[in-house]
Amino acid sequence: MSDNKERPGERGAEKVTKSQEFNRLALVASDTARAQEAFAQLAGEHDWVSIAEADAVVVLGGDGFMLQTLHGMLDTGRVIPAYGMNLGTVGFLMNRFRAGASVTRRLAKARSIAIAPLRMHAVSQDGHEEVFCAINEVSLLRETRQTAKIEVSVDDKVRIEELVCDGVLLSTPAGSTAYNLSAHGPILPLDSELLALTPISPFRPRRWPGAILPDRSRIRFRVIEPDKRPVSAVADQKELRDIAEVSLAIARDSELTLLFDPGHALDERIVAEQFVV
């Protein structure tokens, strides 16, 4: 793979390049003991600045804290590259934490991967509207013991008139190894330009395995019998209750950049995950 040129058919949201040189760095950490200990170790290594002043941010914690940091940047409109070091559990979006290794040297060698989140436009039963972005996935989930009934449309065409299920989710390639994988959805290579549409415990159509869609697709979920069968929508870490309808599309104007050590890029980790036994 070349460092700076797009491959045929490759869009900016999946392009992998060498990182630029970063002079002004921010350092943030989750509130766990391990992350706070690492924060103290790194505090004297660099003249850290705030995210508002930085060229890149070093994130100490797990995948959840990385998502929280990325969403914080999306909310403020101040989006800079993020280099994570895993002090959580899985750390799929993170690099390995190595005590004593220079962060600035690691950043100088890091490669950047640009990813575009999903944009969710949700309408509640009372007509309230919200717009959120999801880096991993948007999931619709039943709120009560009653199964959900959801109409599924792709590009303005109804594909499933009534999906009876515990829920359904739409995942990006970056999120395909998260909730999507636990719901038996497919793992998507980062440069696949695809989305995974995955049912959660489907009852009818019982054998529907989900679908793999081009990432230019527009997806709509409409809740059937919402009063009797209420459904919530979750965009990564943000939840809305009593949903009537959700529309989804890739938000190419909200591109994010993750930084990875050589040999630990996200596309390689997605491939490797498929051979875990």
Is 178 marked as a binding-site residue? yes
Is 179 marked as a binding-site residue? yes
Q: Residues 233, 243: contact at Cβ < 8 Å? A: yes
**What are the b/e assignments for 38-53, b being 16+ CB within 10 Å?**
bbeebeeebebeebee
Dump the DSSP string for 153-201. Answer: EETTEEEEEEEEESEEEEE-TTTTTTHHHHTTPPP--GGG-EEEEEEES
Return the active site residues: 63
Is 233 marked as a binding-site residue? no
Task: Pinpoint the alpha helices (H) of 43-102.
Answer: 63-76
- How far the first Cα of the chain sits from its last, in Å, is 28
Is 99 marked as a binding-site residue? no
Is 166 marked as a binding-site residue? yes
Distance between CA 16 and CA 152 in Å, rounded? 33
* Number of other CB atoms surrounding residue 154 within 10 Å: 17
Is 9 marked as a binding-site residue? no
Is 181 marked as a binding-site residue? yes
Is 30 marked as a binding-site residue? no
Is 88 marked as a binding-site residue? no
Q: State phi, psi for 266 to the nearest 5 degrees.
A: -65, -35
| Cα-Cα-Cα-Cα dihedral sign, residues 95, 269, 233, 254 | positive
Distance between CA 222 and CA 240 in Å, rounded? 14
Known binding-site residues equal 63-64, 136-137, 166, 174, 177-182
